[in-house]
Structure 1
Amino acid sequence: MRIMQTTKPVSENHPSVSYDNNASNQRLVESLRILSKPYRATPWLFNAHTQLIFYSLRKYGFQQRNESASLYDYHEQLTMQDGGLTALYWSGYDLPETTPTIVLIHTISGSPDSMAELVRDLGLKTGWRIVLCLRRGHGQLPLLTPRFNMVGCTEDFRGQLAHIRERFPDSPLYAVGTSAGSGLLVRYLGEEGGDAPFKAAFAYCPGYDTGTCFDNVHPRYSRIMAKKMVRQFVCPNESVLSSLRTADSLLTATDLGDLYQKLYELAGYDDYPSYDQNTNPMNVFEDIRIPLMVLNAEDDPICHINNLEPWRDRMKTMDNVILVTTRKGSHCAHYEGWSARSWSARLMSDYFKSV
């Protein structure tokens, strides 16, 4: 009989930690002192919206100061089987070949600039190599073929991973997926099962079921983000997408849920049910076999905490999964202290070094 463990927070600021109560999980959780201490959000970021706004402003600051230029010491473009273009952005590329590598999967509209803060923090806290897997059409990559997925493509990710492993065959691999990137990570891990090449993985602010999670995004953010996606990925590529019968409908998407429903043909599927069946991470979630930590904030306005509820009890029975939730933290923010440092990057780093 499985014994499920949920640590009741000592105070409202302490993380809640849920897991299957086996010896490995017990040892790991006990070794992570960060989980036994309160997470106190940055005082002057007084709610989820201010944390999210500050997160966006900090990303903009990295871009304006061109900090990415010194952070990423090597980048390369990869041509996929259909001619599409992805890229790898490396930080710590010249570290010894046996140095562990963290494979980072970015957010829904992520770029090397927008992910620079997390790349920097993970590098500083672990001393390891970081590689950002850039998806089609993101950053400065042109969309060369009519193929694009809001949450990424496991086929492309496999191609990127094969290249990473070829470059550094003796480097232990770890993985972080953030927001939409966590969906791609979970889908890949479920498809691969015990063959996944990672020693451990971390899903940060996942939305869980992609068939429903976009409908739970705060309405204002959902409209803003959908317009940004159309402006960034659809409008500049109308000539590339002109062969798609659904191309015009993408331009009229009103929110993220609407855009996701209309994206199936661009993602390479004949209809929405086929798209959902073959890309939804929760369809294969229970097939994950490697150690996985999941972090959600209860006040997240993008990936709402209600998305977790259908899966919470099942996650507690999976012997390789540890679920962490915090009362505050917003979406991919989790800033702490007066100087707004990343609590989540500290947790990721400690987890990888302890697992």
Structure 2
Amino acid sequence: MGIEMDSLDLLVYFVLFLYFPGLYLFYYLKEISEYPSLHYQSNPWNDVWIPSLARLHRVYRPFFFAYNRHLMIFAYLWKERFSRRIAFQEEILQMKDGGTVGLSWYGLENAEAFPETPIVVVLHTITGDAEDLRLTVSRIRERLNATVVVCIRRGHGNLPLTKPSINTMGSTLDLQEQIKHIRNKFPKAPLLGLGISAGSGLLARYLGESGKKCAFSAAMAISPAYDIEKAFPRVHPTYSRLMALRLRQYFLKRHETILKDKYGFGILDSAKTIHEFQDNLYHIADHPDRNSYYRDHNPIHVIGEVDVPLLILNAEDDPVCVKENVEENLHWFDRLPKTILVKLKRGSHIAFLEGLSAKSWSDELICDYFERMLELFDERF
């Protein structure tokens, strides 16, 4: 059914776009443009800031030339690939168990000169690093004049894998050490957390585990999957196969020397879908079985303990983190007083391009939201 709907959507797109531009414009304005859908608990906190965030109450117009979810992902990847390079300052941290993680800083000199400069801590995608988020990092730096630091997980980017263990969802223990290092370096700076795709799962897990002791003043999650045990089997079949191939190449081939003797390496190397890969990852993620892996890393188990302001952004046409994941978890937004869901019908997976120029709507929302949170934080303290 999903494939048939994709085909119909693409057919409508190409027929109208190529042969009936007037009808295409009418269809785009009437059926494609939309107001964001908001889900949250009405309370004094939300009733103050949500009405004041103008972007949440304006029409979102998806990328005019590629609103289809597959075309939008392609456009997003194209923009990222050919975006301007920026100079990150890299810092490597050694963990107590011998593992290696990193911090990719942008705007570090600003934080050193002005110790109270806000720091946005970014958690990257499942096979990404700071280089894959250049446009988002640049926009945050430009609009908020904030320092941005991307927390690089084990085995990602150019980091050596110094311990034979891989976890695609990351480790909250590692993240706690990275945040501790950032906090020790800049004790006066407010910290804001941003998770993107798989990084949003790590963010949610950290927020839930830390509760009231969370280091972030506010946080935002882009395209989360909620319950990862249910989410990975639901990934669109084409993307599931492509992501499995990418995971095998990114982790197993790049780190084959240190991982090849681990029991389960061959099982993962033959995985044909992201679900098969993820469901057997416990073999090389230092867990005795599948249940213990999901117990320790599935964000859904601790989401009820989130205490800081959290904005979540999802798209109904996301082929990776599908709408069923969101619908099953709407009840959390009635229970969590500082958590809000912003949902769009179109935006695909972490893309959310808009207008004629394919500008990132989500990047602007990130900046709007963090700017408003910092204002409220200043007003309260």
Instruction: Name the TM tier (shorter chain).
Output: over 0.9
1:3 aligns with none
**Structure 1: distance between partners of 2:263 and 2:154:** 20
- The SS at the match of 2:258 is helix
- Partner residue of 2:165? 147
Q: Which runs of 4+ in 1 moved over 2 A?
A: none
In structure 1, which of residues 183, 190, 194 is the aligned counterpart of residue 201 of structure 2? 183
When normalised by structure 2's length, the TM-score is: 0.87
Aligned mates of 2:120, 2:340 — CA distance in 1: 19
Q: Is the 8 A contact 2:243 2:274 kept in 1?
A: yes
In the aligned structure 2, how far is the partner of 1:12 from the partner of 1:18?
Answer: 19
Q: Secondary structure at the match of 1:176?
A: strand
* Cα distance in structure 1, aligned partners of 2:284 and 2:185: 31
State whether residues 12 and 327 of structure 1, in contact with CA within 8 Å, keep that contact through their aligned partners in structure 2: no
In the other structure, the counterpart of 1:350 is 368
Say if 1:86 and 1:136, in contact at 8 Å, map to a contact too: yes
- Percent identity among equivalent residues? 38
Superposed, 1:66-105 pairs within 5 Å as: 67-69=85-87, 72=88, 74-95=89-110, 96-105=114-123
Q: How does 1:60-71 map to 2 (within 5 A)?
A: 60-62=81-83, 67-69=85-87
Match for residue 39 of structure 2 among 18, 24, 27: 18
Give the SS at the match of 2:329: helix
For 2:139 and 2:319, the matched residues in 1 are separated by: 24
Confirm whether residue 323 of structure 1 aligns to residue 338 of structure 2.
no
Superposed CA offset, 1:298-334 (max 9, x none): 1111110111122102322310101110111111111
After superposition, residues 33-52 of structure 1 pair within 5 angstroms as 33-52=54-73
Q: Output one character per residue of 1:127-175: Cα deviation in whole Å (capped at 9) or x when no partner.
A: 1110000111111112121111111110111111111111111100000
Scaled by the length of structure 1, the TM-score of the pair is: 0.93
Q: Match for 2:302 among 263, 275, 284?
A: 284
Within a 5 Å distance, the mapping from 1:152-171 to structure 2 comes to 152-171=170-189
Q: How does 1:105-116 map to 2 (within 5 A)?
A: 105-116=123-134
- Amino acid paired to 1:83: G
Pair 1:214-2:232 in alignment:
yes
Distance in 2 of aligned mates of 1:123 and 1:68: 11
One-letter amino acid of the counterpart of residue 92, structure 1: G
Query: Cα offset for 1:12?
Result: 5.8
- Please name the residue that 1:56 is paired with: 77
1:4 aligns with none
CA contact (8 A) 1:68 1:112 kept: no
CA distance in 2, matches of 1:254, 1:93: 41
C-alpha separation in 1, matches of 2:300 and 2:325: 11
Query: Structure 1's 197 and 311: CA in aligned 2 closer, same or farther, altered over 3 A?
Result: same
Write the distance in 1 (CA, Å) between the matches of 2:108 and 2:174. 21
CA drift at 1:239: 2.4
Tell me the alpha carbon deviations over residues 325-351 of structure 1, each in whole angstroms, 9 at most, x when there is no partner. Answer: 011111111111211111111111111
After superposition, residues 125-144 of structure 1 pair within 5 angstroms as 125-144=143-162
- 2:314 is matched with 296
Contact 1:149 1:263 in 2 (8 A): yes
* Alpha-carbon distance in structure 2 between the residues aligned to 1:82 and 1:57: 38
Comparing 120-129 and 191-200, the one that deviates more: 120-129
Q: Conserved in 1, the CA contact under 8 Å of 2:226 and 2:326?
A: yes
SS of 1:324 mapped into structure 2: strand
Q: Report the AA paired with residue 106 of structure 2.
A: S
Report which of the two has the higher share of helix: 2
Matches within 5 A, 1:169-248: 169-248=187-266
* Aligned-residue RMSD, C-alpha: 1.4
The equivalent residue for 2:17 is none
Contact 1:316 1:322 in 2 (8 A): no
Which amino acid counterpart does residue 68 of structure 1 have in structure 2? I
Per-residue deviation, residues 178-199 of structure 1 (Å, max 9, x unmatched): 0000000000110000000111
Corresponding residue for residue 7 of structure 1? none
* Equivalent AA in structure 2 for residue 279 of structure 1: H
* Structure 1 residue identity aligned to 2:97: D
Which structure 1 segments of 5+ residues have no match? Answer: 1-10
In structure 2, runs of 5+ residues without a counterpart are 1-31, 374-381
